[in-house]
Structure formats: C-alpha cells, structure tokens
Structure 1
C-alpha cells in the first residue's frame, strides 16, 4: 500500500489584537506629528501635539514587544515550517526594498537640485537667461551663498568629509565585518565568538550615533549649518538624519538579537531573526557609504 502523501505544514496563528493596535498607534503618531508640525493648540493655548505623538510612540513600542514576542515564542515552540521561513524572508526582502526606495527619493531630490534646479536658476538651462530670478545668484555646490540670505542664511562653511564623517564610515564598515564574523560564528556553533562579535557590532553602532550627534552640535553651534540653511541644509539633515534614525533602529534590533543570543536562542540551522537583523544592518551601512560619497565628498 502506498504511503500517504506528505504535505508541508503552514502555521496559521490564532486571532491577534496586535494588527489593530499597530494601526491605532500609527494613526495617533501621525496625528500627533501633524499637530506638532503645524503648531496647532487647544483653546487654552497648550500644544498637545507632542503628547499625542508620545502616546502613539508608546503604543508602537507596546505593539512591537507584544507582536515580536509572540513570533519568537511560536518559533521557539517549533511551529514554523520551511514554508513559513520563506514567507519571512520574502517579507524582509520587500521591507528592505521599500527602504531602498525611501532613500532613493531623497538622493533623487539631491541629484535634481544639483544637476537641474540649481543650474537652471543660475541661467544655465534652456532659457539661457543669466540670473533669471536672482541677478546676483551664482550656483555652486555646496550652496553656501543662498539667493535670499535674509530668509535662508547659508552656513559659514561645510563639514569636512575627512574628519568625523570618515571616522563614522570606518566605524560602520567595520561593524558590517564584525556582524558577518558573528554570523559565521553562529553557523559554526561558536556561541562565545558569536556573543563577542555581536556585542562589538552594537558598540560600534552606538559610537557612530554619538559621533553623529557631536557632528550635528558642531554644525549648529560653530558652522551655522541648520535645517533652515536653504536647500543644502535641508537635504543634508534629511539624508543624514533619516539615516541616523535607521542606525538607531538597527542598533536596537541588534541589541535584541544580542539578548536572545545570551538567552541561548538561535541554532546553526534556525536563525532567521538574526539574519534579518544582519540584512537590515548591512543595508544601513551601504546607504551610509553612498551618503559619504554624494553628501560629504562630492
């Protein structure tokens, strides 16, 4: 008699409150951020935006802990099959792709200003009229002398790429190397080496964030480089600021992975949570290399 055909098991979780909690948290956060940015206030003159935003962020943190905790528990119980593993990999791949498109939009804005908008305002476009909007305006990048300095004062000077930015580049590139060594140690079953290399990766990420804060303080205090410094200031802080936010999230994710490693989680055969964190960190590192070249050097 032929043996019954074997089918791959696909785990279907029970009903969960976390999707609706996450949706509410995002709604509250966006509403709070919009209220804060537009300076709306209540009848008493108080500005509730920051409190609404903080409440939404707390809800998000609660959702992350609860939802990811459920996923970790289910994985540790052996409920996930290889089909579920493929689903996780596809989801993480699409998430990183969406992040790539996010940064492409900001790099695209930088490219458009430097290659098209700036030269066009200087009369180098197809209209051929020199200084069509500002007679005294001469475009060059970085744009230190703004067309209307009374409204958008330019910085006194720009940040040298060969000081803190270069150090931060070396830190992040080194962190990718240490994270790769941690991954190889995990696959080889070397738990102590895994702990040490992963801890060093987190430390390098934290040092990077500390140096970036020092760079921002130097830019605001000494160079006059702020978000209000025209298109150069806005593109600089939008690109580096959002990247710093992603490094912060990546460092938090790697810290969670480190805690799980110390608790004995992950095996050489089953460790996609660690792999997903590594994918994200390597993506953040690649973005920084592009930032270093196109924002600081060129």
Structure 2
C-alpha cells in the first residue's frame, strides 16, 4: 500500500453479510412469533435456524474486519468511525437499561402508591382494591404468584458486585500491559477477567435457583418479580456476551493481534465491560438494597 493510499478513507468491498444478517434476524423473529403463538412442535427450529444464520454472519463479518485490521487497511479516519459507532452502541444499551430502571422507578414511586390510595389513587383503592397497602416490594394488589421472600443483598449479590469490580481492575491492568507490549501479562489478566465473569454468571444462576425453590420469587411474582428478573436477567446476558468478547480478544492477543499504538478492538470490548460493571452497581443499589 502506498503512502498516498494510507491517507484515503478505506472503502470496504461489497459484502454479503448485511443481507445475511437481515435474513437471519427476519427468520429468528418469525420463528419466535410462531413459537409464542403456535403449539406446532416444529416451530422452534425456525427460530434456531435464524439464530444459526446470525451466528454465521457474525463470525464471517467480524472475521473480515479482523483480517482487514491486521492488514493495516484502516487509517485514523476509520478508527474514529469505529469509536463513534461503539459509543453510539453503548449509548443504545444505556437507554435499553434506562427503560427497565424507569419502569421500576415509575411502579415503585407512582403506580403502587396510587393503588394503595395515595394522592389521586384514593378512589382506585377504595373501589377496586380496598385494604391494599402500597408498600414496596410488592406483587401487586392481586397478590400475583403468592408471597415471596427478598434476596439478601449482602450475600450473593454483594459477592457478585465485588467480582465485577475486580474484573474492571483486571481488564484495566490487561490494557496497560498491552500498551506496554507485554503480551504474556495481557493474556493472564484477560483470562482472570473471563474467570471473574464466569464466576459471576455461576453465582447469579445459583441465586435464581434459590429464589425459585426457596423464596418463591419468580418472574410471575407481580411487578417486583418481573422487574427483578428482567433487570438481572438481561444484565446476566450482557455479562455472558462480554465474557465471550473478552475470550475472543484473549485469543487474538495470544496470536499476536493488536499493536500497542493501535488496538481499538481491545478498547471497544473494555468499554463494553466497564459499562456492564456500572450498570450492575446501579442495579445492586436500586433493586437489591433500596
């Protein structure tokens, strides 16, 4: 590549992956819709086929990007585009969780007190739900799912909080090691980060088992149960995805990818992991403690 071409914005060749991804998403959604609205036992395979297409697309598309990056086809303009794209992606994830936190806030501070007779909800309480006290946590005036027990925030949730905080430290150390071109230390600290994330997922699964079997706290336990499992469940999914992403960049570092002065693929995953950690801190405070 000539020096002049390095100053030009890199334009990728025509690729099949966008249309493949669109097909995969369409098939997945159609399969999920049929699964929810049909008793046909063959329906789940449509959704699985769509998911398989999406996974194939991700491996193929990401593989091409990695190859182009390692061939140094990208310049600073492309790097800026990647950074802007990742920033907007994380912003969209922030808004995703903001919706669930907003639902939790609205239910706890407005809906439940109104149903309990506060403010403009007095008539609603007297006519529809007499005797209901709008005290949080609650499974609603209809006592959906029966009585339940709260998760002790200072047991498994606190352990998981410490695990994620520690993982933020380990991935930061790995980043500094990569910038110092110490690949061995980078791999070691990345493996430590993956292990901490895996332990977090294990403990969250154990917490779910305890909640269902011993505490009768389920997704069907009214507004508290639904918001609790939606927030913690989606966060657990993000931790799982983050751990997979870190595993991938660990293999890439081990194979000699990334350079101390240019490693946005590494930085993007680190940004995502820090985002997941910050979300958990908010979740730990507003769902478990308050």
What TM bracket, shorter-length normalisation? over 0.9
- Structure 1 gap segments, 5+ residues each: none
CA separation of 1:213 and 1:113: change in aligned 2, threshold 3 A: same
The two structures, once aligned, show a CA RMSD in angstroms of 1.5
Q: Which residue of 1 aligns with 2:207?
A: 215
CA separation of 1:109 and 1:208: change in aligned 2, threshold 3 A: same
Does 1:186 find its partner at 2:186?
A: no
CA separation of 1:239 and 1:140: change in aligned 2, threshold 3 A: same
Q: CA deviation at 1:128?
A: 3.5
Distance 1:281 1:177 in 2: 11
Q: Return the structure number with greater helix share.
A: 2
Normalised to the residue count of structure 1, the TM-score between the two structures is 0.93
Does 1:140 find its partner at 2:135?
A: yes
In structure 2, the residue corresponding to 1:10 is in which secondary structure?
coil
Aligned residues of 2:132 and 2:141 also touching (Cα < 8 A)? yes
Normalised to the residue count of structure 2, the TM-score between the two structures is 0.95
Q: Which residue of 2 aligns with 1:47?
A: 41
CA separation of 1:7 and 1:221: change in aligned 2, threshold 3 A: closer
Does 1:124 find its partner at 2:123?
A: no
CA separation of 1:266 and 1:120: change in aligned 2, threshold 3 A: same
Distance 1:127 1:228 in 2: 24
Moved over 6 A (4+): none
Aligned residues of 1:35 and 1:48 also touching (Cα < 8 A)? no
Does 1:274 find its partner at 2:266?
A: yes
- 1:194-220 per-residue CA deviation (whole Å, 9 max, x = no partner) reads 111111000000000011000011111
In structure 2, the residue corresponding to 1:147 is in which secondary structure?
coil
Alignment of 1:1-298 (within 5 A): 8-38=7-37, 40-41=38-39, 46-129=40-123, 131-132=125-126, 133-144=128-139, 146-149=140-143, 152-298=144-290
- Structure 2 gap segments, 5+ residues each: none
In structure 1, the residue corresponding to 2:146 is in which secondary structure?
coil
- 1:232-268 per-residue CA deviation (whole Å, 9 max, x = no partner) reads 1100010000101111110110000011011011110
Q: CA deviation at 1:92?
A: 0.3
